[in-house]
Amino acid sequence: MAVFYKLAVIATIALTAMVSAAPIDPTHGNAVTNNTTAVANNTTAVANNTTAVTNSTTIPDLPSGEQDEISIAAATSGTFSGRGTWYTGSLGSCGKPFGPNDMIVAMNAPQMGDKALCDKSVKITYGGKTVEARVTDTCPSCSSGALDLNQPVFEKLAPLDKGVIDISWEFV
């Protein structure tokens, strides 16, 4: 609760500064001032979506379907690096069951977003070894760049008792 309060205070100070510095458009009257309360009341939503907003690209002149394709393309290009951990399970956030021998990973929550990366394939590298797997789940505790690998994927790269490895990966 203390963190939320601090975020609310910071957001209110920032909004006050923006409103007092923003020129008032005579055709819109006090629209900026009147919206201050609405934005302040949505501080939680804004604070919780900071990562998603930072990692997304929106091109306003395109239809929404094309914007989604561009956002996914931007999110899936390049090589990423982070911690690789392992887990077990049989049903991921993508809603499809998987077996104990399937090669699957849980994508970190900041990159997974609204599950647009479900069923995408990734190539993971560690210690000169490479393995491919499919995204079927979300790892809510993983930071950006990290993947939670199921046991078969992790074992192709390192012994399970290693626990955590520094991986690089890319979409294929």
Q: Are residues 20 and 56 in the same domain?
A: yes
Instruction: Please give the helix or strand (H or E) that residue 81 lies within, else none.
Output: strand 79-87
CATH (domain of 112): 2.40.40.10
Is residue 26 domain-shared with residue 53, that is, in the same domain? yes
Domain boundary among 18, 41, 70: 70
**Alpha carbon distances (Å) from 39 to 5, 16, 25, 48, 80:** 15, 11, 19, 14, 34
Of residues 129, 135, 133, the one with CA closest to residue 95: 135
Say if residue 63 is in the same domain as residue 87: no
Q: Which residues of 86-108 are buried (b: 16+ CB within 10 A; e: fewer)?
A: beeeeebbbeeebeeeebbbbbb
Number of domains in the chain: 2
pLDDT of residue 46: 32
Q: Are residues 86 and 167 in the same domain?
A: yes
| Rounded Cα–Cα distance for residues 62 and 84 (Å) | 36
pLDDT tens by residue, 7-42: 343 444 343 333 334 444 333 333 333 333 333 333
Query: Are residues 49 and 121 both part of a single domain?
Result: no
Shared domain check, 145 and 86: yes
* Residue 47 pLDDT grade (very low, low, confident, very high; cuts 50, 70, 90): very low
Residues 31 and 89 in one domain: no
Q: Which of 104, 78, 77 is nearest to 89 (CA)?
A: 104
Helical spans, DSSP H, in 49-115: 50-54, 64-75, 109-112
Question: Do 93 and 158 fall within a single domain?
Answer: yes
Pair (122, 91) in one structural domain? yes
Q: Is 117 in the same domain as 49?
A: no
| Residues 91-133 pLDDT 10s | 999 999 988 899 999 999 999 988 899 999 999 999 999 999 9
* Helical pair 2-21 and 31-41, crossing angle rounded to 10 deg: 170
Residue-level pLDDT at 75? 65
Question: Last residue of some domain: 70, 99, 129?
Answer: 70
Of 35, 70, 105, which residue constitutes the final position of a domain? 70
Structural domain range at position 120: 79-171
Do 19 and 60 belong together in one domain? yes
- Encode pLDDT of 127-149 as tens digits: 999 999 999 999 999 999 999 99
Tokens encoding 161: 């008792």
Is 52's pLDDT higher than 80? no
Q: What is the pLDDT of residues 146-162, one digit of tens each?
A: 999 999 999 999 999 99
The band of 89, judged by pLDDT with boundaries at 50, 70 and 90, is confident
DSSP letter, residue 69:
H
